[in-house]
Amino acid sequence: MPMNEMSALIGLAVSPIPAAPASRKRSTRAVAKSIIPVWSRAEDFDRLGAAYEFIHAKGGKVFTLRLSRDALIQVTGSADPVRTMTRRLQRAFARAGIPMPPIAFSVEVTPDERNQLHLHGALVLGGLLPSDVKRVLREAAGFIEGRAGSRQVKLTNFDLASGGPVGWAYYSKRGAARTRREVGQRRVTYISSDIRRVVSVDWDICRGQLLGRPRRLH
């Protein structure tokens, strides 16, 4: 991910750095260090925003995915809904003979009495056809029959007018507290390991640059 995009993301992810009063011994850099987190301590949806920036830079798409009744029972009834949904995705791509692409998502319950779990996410298509990806996503979520099935998965471009990748991450963040209560788990986001490996390094390098540390060359 370009460093200017990561810098902008970190700027959104943290509070403005306050000016240090003259009476205080801590330097402004020390204050900044305490506010700008390393990747491992960053908030879940800030990390998700960084993952979406990566996906957007690769020409990826965003998706919304509704689960069938049987899938809802299995996922919401499990001890770890995110892990269960991830395994369903992995199996669906494997059955289709397609390696699972770089992907990130969050689970969210509807803001009404239904509390119906669904996914908001993004993935890198690479050379995959959108129609093939939509079919695999539907299989992972359990096919919904009839007219509702035609609306089960929505695959579109990032909406830059609504905040782009970071806006897409924060869209789900609005309902995170409610979702965590309903599923009984703190974790409601997932970032595939291939994305994490790249983005976590970029995040911490950019953090060091913002704190005035020179980048180490290996």
Q: What is the pLDDT of residue 67?
A: 96
Higher pLDDT, 203 or 14: 203
* pLDDT score for 215: 52
What are 117-159's pLDDT values in tens digits? 999 999 999 999 999 999 999 999 999 988 888 899 999 999 9
Q: In this predicted structure, which of 11-15, 60-64, 106-110, 205-209 has the lowest mean pLDDT?
A: 11-15
Residue range 36-62, pLDDT digits in tens:
789 999 999 999 999 999 999 999 999
CB 52 within 8 A of CB 117: no
Determine the Cα–Cα distance for residues 156 and 117; give it in Å rounded to an integer.
Answer: 20
How does pLDDT run across 111-124, given as a tens digit for each residue?
A: 877 778 999 999 99
pTM of the model: 0.85
Q: What is the pLDDT of the chain when averaged over all its residues?
A: 86
Q: 69 falls in which pLDDT band (50, 70, 90)?
A: very high
Is the Cβ–Cβ distance between 141 and 135 less than 8 Å?
no
pLDDT at residue 3 is higher than 80: no
How high is the pLDDT of residue 85? 98
72: which residues sit within 8 A by CB, 6+ positions away? 116, 117
The yes-or-no verdict on residue 16 having pLDDT over 50 is no
Burial class (CB within 10 angstroms; exposed 0-12, middle 13-18, buried 19+) of 198: middle
Q: What's the whole-number mean pLDDT along residues 87-103?
A: 97
Q: With residue 63 as reference, give the H or E element that holds it.
A: strand 61-66
